[in-house]
C-alpha cells in the first residue's frame, strides 16, 4: 500500500501540473470508486471546478476545488494517479479531463481506492480528526508526543505505528524500517518502551519516511509516479523484505514474522525481543538464489 512518502511524491509531482486547471469533465468508469455516491452525482460535484491546490493528510490526497469543496482520494493498495498517460492504460477507474487537453487518470487493479467529496473546511477537519493522528513532519512528532500517545497501550509497537489515529502515514514498510533504526523489537508493548526509546523512535520514523521520500517512494508491486516511472526506495531497505539476508548493522540474519497481521522483518540481535513475548515463527527462507521474501 502506498504510504506517506509515496503519496507525498505523487502530490509533489502533480501539484504544479494541476494547480489552476479546470476539470472540464470527470468520467467515473468504476461506480465503486466513489461509492456510496452515484457516479453521476460525484461527477456533477467535481466537473467544471478549478483545482486550486493539491494537499495531503496522512495517506490521503486532497483536491481543493474552491468554495470549500474538497475531493479526497485514498490510493489504498494499488491505486495510482497518472498524468497525460496513454489513454489505453489498464485498470482505469476514473478520468479527469482537464483544460488544455490534459488528462489525469486514476488506475487501480484491485479496485480498493476511494474518492469522496466533502463540503466545508470544518467538515474536512472533522473527517480527518476522527481518522488521523500526528503528521510526522508537522513539528508535532517528538518523544513526548509519542510517549503520551502510547501510554497505557499494551498492543505491540508495530501495531501502534500502523494505527493511523496515532501517527498518520506510516504503513508496513516504514514501520519496519523505523523500528530497525531505533533498535526496537516490533513485539515490544507500545506503552512499555524505555524512556529514551520514544524520542529515538520519533526521530527514526522521520528518518525512514524522509529516506523514502528522497527516493521517490518504494515500488514493490504497483506504485508508480505520476509520469509512470517507479520509486527506488525498495533498493535501500535495511530490513523490510530482506529475510535471510545479513543485517546491515551486525550481520545477523534478518528474519520474518507476523505481527499485527502483517509480514514483519526484524534483526533479533539488534532489536532485542522483549521478555515474556510469545515466540513468533519466522517465515521460511530459501537459498540465496531463490530467497523467499
Cα 39 to Cα 31: distance, rounded to the nearest angstrom: 5
59 carries an active-site annotation: yes
Cα 11 to Cα 42: distance, rounded to the nearest angstrom: 22
5 carries an active-site annotation: no
In the chain, which ranges are E strands?
23-28, 53-57, 60-64, 69-74, 80-83, 92-98, 102-107, 114-119, 255-259, 262-266
Enter the C-alpha cell of residue 93.
Answer: 477507474
3 carries an active-site annotation: yes
Cα 283 to Cα 242: distance, rounded to the nearest angstrom: 11
* Other Cβ atoms within 10 Å of 278 Cβ, number: 6
Catalytic residue among 32, 262, 269, 273: 262
2 carries an active-site annotation: yes
Catalytic residue among 2, 5, 136, 186: 2
DSSP codes, 246-278: BPTTT-PBPEEEEETTEEEEE-TTTSPPPTTPP
Nearest to 190 by CA among 168, 213, 162, 210: 162
Catalytic residue among 3, 6, 177, 189: 3
H or E element at residue 9? helix 4-18
Catalytic residue among 57, 59, 224, 256: 59
* Other Cβ atoms within 10 Å of 275 Cβ, number: 6
Sheet holding 53-57, edge to edge: 53-57, 60-64, 69-74, 114-119
- Which three-class secondary structure state does DSSP give residue 102? strand
Catalytic residue positions, numbered: 2-3, 59, 262
Amino acid at each position: 500500500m502506498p504510504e506517506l512518502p509515496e503519496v507525498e511524491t505523487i502530490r509533489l509531482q502533480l501539484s504544479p501540473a494541476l494547480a489552476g486547471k479546470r476539470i472540464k469533465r470527470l468520467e467515473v468508469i468504476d461506480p465503486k470508486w466513489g461509492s456510496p455516491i452515484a457516479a453521476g452525482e460525484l461527477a456533477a460535484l467535481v466537473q467544471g471546478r478549478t483545482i486550486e491546490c493539491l494537499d495531503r493528510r496522512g495517506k490521503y490526497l486532497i483536491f481543493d476545488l474552491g468554495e470549500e469543496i474538497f475531493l479526497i482520494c485514498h490510493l489504498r493498495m494499488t491505486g495510482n494517479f497518472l498524468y497525460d498517460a496513454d489513454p489505453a492504460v489498464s485498470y482505469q477507474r476514473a478520468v479527469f479531463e482537464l483544460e488544455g487537453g490534459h488528462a489525469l487518470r486514476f488506475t487501480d487493479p484491485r479496485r480498493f481506492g476511494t474518492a469522496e467529496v466533502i463540503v466545508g473546511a470544518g467538515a474536512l477537519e472533522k473527517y480527518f480528526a476522527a481518522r488521523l493522528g500526528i503528521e510526522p513532519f508537522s513539528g508535532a512528532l517528538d518523544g513526548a508526543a509519542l510517549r503520551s500517545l502510547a501510554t497505557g497501550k499494551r498492543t505491540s509497537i508495530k501495531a501502534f505505528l500502523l494505527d493511523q489515529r496515532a501517527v498518520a502515514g506510516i504503513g508496513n514498510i516504514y514501520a519496519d524500517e523505523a523500528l530497525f533504526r531505533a533498535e526496537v523489537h516490533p513485539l515490544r508493548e507500545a506503552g512499555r518502551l524505555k524512556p529514551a526509546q520514544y524520542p529515538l523512535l520519533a526521530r527514526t520514523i522521520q528518518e525512514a519516511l524522509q529516506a523514502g521520500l528522497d527516493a521517490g517512494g518504494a515500488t514493490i508491486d504497483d506504485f508508480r509516479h505520476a509520469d509512470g516511472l517507479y520509486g527506488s526506495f525498495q533498493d535501500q531497505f535495511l530490513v523490510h523484505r530482506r529475510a535471510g539476508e545479513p543485517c546491515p548493522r551486525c550481520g545477523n540474519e534478518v528474519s520474518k514474522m507476523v505481527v499485527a497481521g502483517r509480514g514483519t522483518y526484524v534483526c533479533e540481535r539488534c532489536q532485542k525481543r522483549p521478555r515474556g513475548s510469545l515466540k513468533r515463527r519466522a517465515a521460511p527462507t530459501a537459498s540465496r538464489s531463490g530467497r523467499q521474501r
